[in-house]
Structure 1
Amino acid sequence: MGNGTAVRDALRAPTRALRQAIPEVYRGYRELHDTALAAGALDAKTKELIALAIAVSKECDGCIAAHAHASVRHGATPAEAAEAIGVTFLMNGGPATVYGARAFDAFQEFYEKQSKEQGA
């Protein structure tokens, strides 16, 4: 389906243009992002899975792609991603079944890519 890399690629140019127009805002957001997702009482993997679930509930394809990729980088498994996404069904109902499928597709895309890279 292309819910991972394709979404990130489509957003790259417009995001770059906006970041150039408002660099201070992006710096502030990056600081918030890095601080919120840093390991603390919760590890980074758990925080990324939470962010992935929220991305599903917010129906944000760009957020789904970003946090699916980050979840994989932090060691999340497909089973962990599926369970986190499953909670969104409870909290967001029917729309979560659509965006949840997109999120799981993106997660699987990044997971398979990382598995191939580590196996090669």
Structure 2
Amino acid sequence: MTISYGKAVREELRRPTSELRHAIPEVYQGYKELHDAALRTGALDGKTKELIALAIAVSKECDGCIAAHAHAAVLQGATPQEAAETLGVTFLMNGGPSTVYGARAFAAFNEFHADHTQNPDAG
């Protein structure tokens, strides 16, 4: 049995997220603007920012965030080794829980990376 920490998590959250988005569209629009502004390339490139977000998602133990930022990091060109080293820093800063959520994040990253490698034009 293969456990998906990437696509399955995103799929599980799709419907409830859509329902909440329809209930509070202005809040979601504000969050989208914050998201886009925070992740826009500046002194740090998008890949670096997505790897930082992935590390924070692990520290916050948020499977949905892990899936979202693992996927985005792949799309920004992050490699499995860059993801692994980023997750290693979470061990230092967050201890034991990061060994669990870091493994989930690495599995999600590798899932998206494999898909992207096989079909680079897919989102």
Relative to the length of structure 1, the TM-score reads 0.98
Q: After the TM superposition, which parts of structure 1 deviate over 3 Å for at least 4 consecutive aligned residues?
A: none
User: Which residue matches 2:96?
Assistant: 94
Q: 2:113 aligns with which of 104, 111, 115?
A: 111
Which whole-Å deviations, capped at 9, do the CAs of 1:49-102 have from their partners, x for residues lacking one?
Answer: 000000000000000000000000000000000000000000100000000000
Shift of 1:110: 0.2
CA distance in 2, matches of 1:25, 1:117: 34
Letter in 2 for 1:34: D
Aligned to 2:74: 72
33, 44, 56: which one pairs with 1:31? Answer: 33
State the percentage of identical aligned residues: 71
Partner residue, 1:57: 59
More helix by share: 1
Q: Distance in 1 between matches of 2:32 and 2:120?
A: 28
TM-score by length of 2: 0.95
- C-alpha distance after superposition, 1:10-59 (max 9, x if no partner): 00000000000000000000000000000000000000000000000000
Would you say how many aligned residue pairs link Structure 1 and Structure 2? Answer: 119
Alignment RMSD (CA, Å): 1.0
Q: For structure 1, which runs of at least 5 residues remain unmatched after alignment?
A: none
For the residues of structure 2 that align with 1:27 and 1:71, how far apart are their CA atoms?
22
For residues 61 and 120 of structure 2, the distance between their equivalents in structure 1, rounded to whole angstroms, comes to 31
Q: Distance in 2 between matches of 1:49 and 1:118?
A: 19
